[in-house]
Structure 1
Amino acid sequence: MIPWIELDSAAIPGETGTLRLKRRGDEFSIMLGANELMNSRLSGSEEALAELSCAKLAGRKAPVVLIGGLGMGFTLRAALAVLPGDARVVVAELVPAVVKWARGEMAAVFKGSLDDPRVEIHTGDVASLIEKSKSAFDAILLDVDNGPDGLTRASNDRLYDAGGLGRSGRALRLGGVLAVWSSGPDPRFTARMEKAGFATEVRTVRANAKRRGAKHVIWLGVGHR
């Protein structure tokens, strides 16, 4: 068995947690404590987050998509594959080292996606960016935790409570899409989405692109404003 090698670590701004980048052969893992946040072998549900969301934007001219969390770039690459040439994709990543890893140690995983002219990297808190944005995005895709609670950062809870959902709704354009990735179901979050005014669809997808592995959940909410 090839051993895991820790390549780098990075503090999470404003928190006590530390992200660790590990490699085993050509496989990469990003860990938070004992929790594996992402693995380069498991991209299916992150790709589905982009594909399901962008499908609801079909026909829109120059759509603007906000992705919360760069991760290993699977959501970004899947969005770029289906969005038109006049689209703009803003990726908000809180931890600067994750962007560094994407251009360095994990460059082979990202396959040049950060160099796409449609891409803009915002280094900072996605919740703060959403809060100061009004009717700015056609879709907001959130994959910054293991579900609708603040795992990587306690203050991320404000993305998923009633106030946070309201702020996302105001940051979206008419009929915009709010999509949230989760490692498992949460009926209470479904209810909050609906109460916040989103026509909500809950989709179960596989972690592996070959339709194997754990079942993950994606909420797709279409705003009425």
Structure 2
Amino acid sequence: MAKLCEIDTADIPGGRGQLRLLQRNDEFSIRIVGKPGELMNTRLHGSEDALAELACERVRENPNVRVLVGGLGMGFTLAAALKSLGAEAEVVVAELVPGVVEWNRGPLGAAAGYPIRDPRCQIVVEDVVEVLARSEGAFDAIMLDVDNGPEGLTQRENDRLYSARGLESIQRALRPDGVLAVWSAGLDPGFSERLKRAGLCVEEHMVRAHRPGKGARHTIWLAW
């Protein structure tokens, strides 16, 4: 089998390192320079799809539905959200790394069907925390796939998104009866309790990285 080869790198704003984009034929992988393992792979996106499907199922019938995706990644959550919602929906994507947006405009975008070209999509190159802070009552659903989940394994700064204060900001950004969906690489009982302490009802869903029923088990929280 051919080797995955690096084809580009992208700086993470704030001097927080670099991302690597690797390719083998039609397979792409994103990794962090200097760290083992990979963040995502175009062959393993079942849980990213499920993040959008679970959230959008609850809000798709809302009038003028507007949702926020935190983290563009390889575009699969965005693509699933667009597929789940109607023609009048608006999907806002907050992506911190400009290079990731450019990768999705280039050859990487083909894996998810170039969802950023959909007229219902608005890309904001900014930290999702900042977008939430100025978006009171703006979204029917907020879907977060930032870092590896609530533990903030990659960037310690991500803890502010999943802290009690971060959850307050998320709740302010949701419309009445809105829903929060959070992706995680693993279990985190402490985060479930944090959601409950914030006054939210919580569901935990175990989903597979690869469908049907294959690959690593990932966690998705729904909270409302």
Name the SS of the counterpart of 1:90 in structure 2.
Answer: strand
2:76 to 74, 77, 90: 74
Match of 1:60 in 2: 62
Matched, 1:10 2:10: yes
Specify the alignment match of 2:91 in structure 1. Answer: 89
SS in structure 1 at match of 2:30: strand
**Residue 28 of structure 1 pairs with residue 28 of structure 2:** yes
1:155, distance to aligned residue in structure 2 (A): 1.2
Q: Does the aligned pair in 2 maintain the 1:15–1:153 contact within 8 Å?
A: no
Of 42-51 and 151-160, deviating more is 151-160
Please report how far the alpha carbon of residue 105 of structure 1 lies from its aligned counterpart in structure 2 after TM superposition: 2.7
Counterpart contact for 1:144–1:152, Cα < 8 Å: no
**Separation in 2 of the partners of 1:141 and 1:123?**
16
Structure 2 partner of 1:19: 19
Query: Is the 1:180–1:218 Cα contact (8 Å) retained in structure 2?
Result: yes
8 A contact 2:74–2:109 mirrored in 1: no
Comparing 56-65 with 88-97, which one deviates more in the overlay? Answer: 56-65
- Alignment check: 8 A CA contact 2:182 2:221 kept: yes
* RMSD between aligned residues: 1.0
Identify unmatched segments of 5+ residues in structure 2. none
What is the aligned partner in structure 1 of residue 118 from structure 2?
116
Quote the Cα distance in structure 2 between the aligned partners of 1:102 and 1:152.
Answer: 21
C-alpha separation between the residues in 2 aligned to 1:71 and 1:201? 24
Match in the other structure for 1:167: 169
Which residue matches 2:150?
148
Q: Aligned letter for 2:42?
A: S
Q: Structure 1 CA distance, aligned partners of 2:185 and 2:114?
A: 27
Identity across aligned pairs (percent)? Answer: 54
Contact 1:17/1:152 (<8 A) preserved:
no
Given that 1:62 and 1:84 are in contact with CA atoms closer than 8 Å, whether structure 2 keeps it comes out as no
Q: 1:153: Cα distance to partner?
A: 2.5
Unpaired segments ≥5 residues, structure 1: none
SS in 2 for 1:178: strand
2:153 match: secondary structure = coil
- How far did residue 15 of structure 1 move? 3.6
The whole-number CA distance in structure 1 between the counterparts of 2:11 and 2:154 is: 11
